[in-house]
Structure 1
């Protein structure tokens, strides 16, 4: 029971830290501000964490896991076969709806990225964050290829970096302006830009999640 109480205390402090960071920035997320937000004593903080930096490390990991869980349903349950551009646009819309539903999470992620880049020994957290983003984007591009029966002209890992850059711009622009119409235009542009990298040759539509295979004409040798 003591172990469960300790875990619950850590979770409450992480949640409080995320709210403070999102609303006031990392610089305002002192241990006193965090425990006040959590409704705990300062002693409770030091019982759960050795330092503020340790809490920040756990906070980054927590928010990355949240991000992965929020996107997972769209990647695990793709819709029926559609065009590649439509698949990308639909994925962007799914992401945008998650952003609109919980803007504080994305605000906190930007704050934590800057904090990690500026803090000695914490840069690996920013790299960990973006490695997760690139992995999710790669998966999304693979799902779009499966849905559409089209492949990509460039390696998915390269295209994932472009897609993450586009979604970063979408996210920041919307957080600043809260303009849904402008966000829709950005998503249209992003879908068009990514679809421009589609392989014009069709791929076979895979079964049971198997990788798509490009359909090619038989060679002269195979015809003989």
Structure 2
């Protein structure tokens, strides 16, 4: 049997921690539960990580990186309105398909904010800055004021966050799918009012 590398084991533990945090929360995410979820023994987890804090730090970085990748993969490199629409839709679709990640991400952001102050805010800041960068790129031919870019990023984040909380609370996929379309329509209408564009017909 091929030997599993430490890097692969760490990846397994990170993914397992996401699942455990989603179900049991931060306080209930014991190293034993995480090891069981990863189908590994506790000794291997302690071999890979000196402490649960070290593991959570990697989970935290994983969550931050996933948001960056999500935004980049959702950027159509098109018009500003298309870019904004696809960024919102991409995040909501990921939340819909990955409820464990969504729940764990919200838990981790709150945990890190309580435990580490500024570091807890950093993952949200990083995600917003990735959104701003995509919007600035889409608006490069007709640059917008930084304040306008900030407002668009804020609206996208607010709609996505509201969708995530509703989806996690009710777990109704059919309703969530309809709510995605509602959120996109709200964004389009807001952009039309803010930028003087025409909303896309549904």
Q: TM-score, normalised by structure 1?
A: 0.73
CA distance in structure 2 between the aligned counterparts of 1:151 and 1:169, rounded to whole angstroms: 29
The answer to whether residue 53 in structure 2 is matched with residue 53 in structure 1 is: yes
In the superposition, relative to structure 1, how do residues 86 and 15 fare at CA in structure 2: closer, same or farther (>3 Å)? closer
CA drift at 1:174:
2.6
In the superposition, relative to structure 1, how do residues 50 and 124 fare at CA in structure 2: closer, same or farther (>3 Å)? farther
Give the structure with the larger strand fraction.
1
Q: What SS is found at the alignment partner of 2:122?
A: helix
Which position in structure 2 is the counterpart of 1:164?
Answer: 157
Unaligned 5+ segments in structure 2 are 198-202
CA drift at 1:58:
0.8
- Alignment length (residue pairs): 189
Large movers: runs of 4+ above 6 Å: none
Q: 1:27-176 maps to which residues of 2 (within 5 A)?
A: 27-75=27-75, 77-79=76-78, 81=79, 84-119=80-115, 122-146=116-140, 150-152=142-144, 154-176=147-169
Give the structure with the larger helix fraction.
2
Q: Which has the larger radius of gyration?
A: 1
Q: Is the 8 A contact 1:31 1:42 kept in 2?
A: yes
Deviation track 1:179-209 (CA, whole Å, cap 9, x = no partner) reads 2212321221123224433278xxxxxxxxx
CA distance in structure 2 between the aligned counterparts of 1:87 and 1:137, rounded to whole angstroms: 9
CA drift at 1:150:
4.9
Q: TM-score, normalised by structure 2?
A: 0.80
CA drift at 1:50:
1.4
CA distance in structure 2 between the aligned counterparts of 1:86 and 1:15, rounded to whole angstroms: 32
Q: Decide which moves more: 66-75 or 7-16.
A: 66-75
Unaligned 5+ segments in structure 1 are 201-224
In the superposition, relative to structure 1, how do residues 18 and 48 fare at CA in structure 2: closer, same or farther (>3 Å)? same
Which position in structure 2 is the counterpart of 1:13?
Answer: 13
CA distance in structure 2 between the aligned counterparts of 1:162 and 1:94, rounded to whole angstroms: 15
Deviation track 1:117-162 (CA, whole Å, cap 9, x = no partner) reads 222xx2233222111111122023224435xx65435342354234
CA RMSD across the alignment: 2.4
